Homo-oligomer: A and B are copies of this chain.
Amino acid sequence: MKKINILDSTLRDGAQSEGISFSVSDKLHIIQALDDFGVSYIEAGNPGSNPKDIEFFNRAAEIKLNNAKLCAFGSTRRKNLAVEEDDNVLSLLKARTDVVVIFGKSWDLHIREILRTTEENNLELVYDTVNFFKKKDKELIFDAEHFFDGFKANRDCAVNVLKTADAAGADSLCLCDTNGGCTPDEILRITREIVGLFPGRQIGIHCHNDMGCAVANSMLAVDVGASQVQGTFIGIGERCGNADLSVIVPNLQLKQGYECINSSLSKLSEAVYAISEICNMPVPLNKPYVGLSAFAHKGGMHIDGVSKCARSFEHVEPESVGNKRRFLMSEVSGRTTVLAKLGRVAPELSKDSPETAAIVQRLKELEHEGYQFESADASFELMVLNVLGRFSPHFKLNMYKTSGEYPSPDGEMSAYAMLKIEVGDKTETAAAMGNGPVNALDLALRKALTVFYPEVSRVHLIDYKVRVLTAEKATAAKVRVLMESTNGEETWTTVGVSTDIIEASWLALVDSIEYILK
């Protein structure tokens, strides 16, 4: 089995996507998810263009990675500066990664009009920069920016850039269709020629999706000998996005027998939903392999065909990528999936238990209201215990009042909350001020509960996400709140849905506390 190295650029090229703005914590979570999935390289940022990235690279260096190598990305040195004096180049060293990715110009138009220098000088920039990092013992990937456009415009100029990077010691030469404007036929023909020119050297392919061909173009390059594929995990990136690795990886592994990742493809769906959640990008229904519709059958003939013989209308088994088959006209779906999730809470239930049917029914009702349990395992578990009659609440809310004020009555704090809870035959009333009503309510609840359950004092929230569900009614739309909590030992996620953001937050808060008390 031939190995294909996958380089993920979600944190670098993906960050160029409209609407994307990663926090440091988002970035660290994405690195963890990509490493768990088993990609070979994670291009984590451009420390030269963004000084805040150095701090992030220092934190990233603390993560223990099992599969991937972190890469810092930057350009060749500036034209009038020695490589040792170029701040951008030096910032790549400060990132302390094992791998450095350097991009250089290979289209004469860019050398002339954008960089405003000569072809000779451009070759010097490439040589000096690549050589500098090789002397520092870095693994070096050279990205030939606009390579295909450059090759079409001036073949010698483009090839000389690759030859120079090769001579300077680059470990890998990556051909980029930076503008995403090359046809499959061109990618195939040009990559074949380059692979022939550099026998033994690893050739990479980096495609953009401006013609809707990035996935196929990457595959065609692999067909003729490229062995590194660059892209972003869910296809985000500037303009129309980068080559979508969540599609390319199963294509190459399931259809062509390549080995791309160090884990099971059955984790694909989970990884895509986790990364999409962090990006705050919903997964399109029709996304290949992992979309909710990817194995959904609607036409009567197709449903009949699939029932007789699954592969008659399915190109792979849905389970092989962690997805599931759905028949849209009937209500047959559900039980198998729910059963898979029930394992931990109620392993004694079977597909045909009446309890399973009741849980599926309750799940459907809640999903109809806007709940989503995919990433809220703790709330799912409580819901199941509730349906099975095995849950009794540890406290009861009698009332709360929250209040927000402008101008703030107390300097920074703009809101307060008071509440009264009941535990057994006792009650407790507490109040707190906070940054906004939800924060105040969170603090007041913990204060009141700690009287009865001291362990609650160790619980705190580590993530809080809000998604508006039906935007048509604007501020009266429904909101779904996801909360991630920890007590320092484990973390768990809960969900709440309401038209009122405070109530939705309250529901998720209550689940968070009940989960750890149960």
Instruction: List residues of A whose CB falls within 8 A of some B CB.
Output: 16-19, 21, 23, 25, 49-50, 75, 109-110, 113-114, 178-181, 183-185, 209-213, 215-217, 219-220, 223, 235-236, 238-241, 244, 247-248, 251, 255-256, 280, 284-289, 291-302, 304-305, 308-309, 311-316, 328, 330-332, 372, 374-375, 397, 399-407, 414-415, 434-439, 442, 460-472, 474-477, 479, 483-484, 498-503, 505-506
Contacts and interface: CB of A to CB of B under 8 A. Distances in A.
A295 to B, nearest CB: 7
B25 A212 contact: no
A209 B461 contact: no
Given A18-B293, A244-B212, A285-B18, A503 B184 contact: no
A502 B466 contact: no
A393 to B, nearest CB: 15
B465 A468 contact: yes
A443 B249 CA distance: 50
A239 B294 CA distance: 4
A409 to B, nearest CB: 10
Give this chain's copy count: 2
A17 B286 contact: yes
A374 B21 CA distance: 11
Contacts of A244: 212
A342 to B, nearest CB: 20
A119 to B, nearest CB: 16
Nearest to A287: B240
* 10 residue pairs, one from A and one from B, having the closest CB atoms: A181-B315, A461-B474, A216-B216, A436-B500, A435-B499, A212-B247, A212-B215, A213-B216, A439-B475, A466-B466
Contacts of A483: 474
A498 B462 CA distance: 18
A40 to B, nearest CB: 21
A415 B198 CA distance: 69
A479 B414 CA distance: 14
B211 A247 contact: yes
Given A25-B472, A372-B21, A475-B461, A240 B291 contact: yes
Contacts of A461: 474-475
A289 B178 CA distance: 16
A280 B462 CA distance: 20
A105 to B, nearest CB: 10
A220 B184 contact: yes
Contact of A179 (B19, B178, B313, B438): B313
Contacts of A236: 286
B463 A288 contact: no
A192 to B, nearest CB: 12
A210 B415 CA distance: 47
Contact of A286 (B114, B209, B312, B399): B209
A239 B472 contact: no
B400 A405 contact: yes
B502 A436 contact: yes
A415 to B, nearest CB: 6
A508 to B, nearest CB: 10
A436 B473 CA distance: 13
Nearest to A367: B21
A210 B294 contact: yes
A109 B209 contact: no
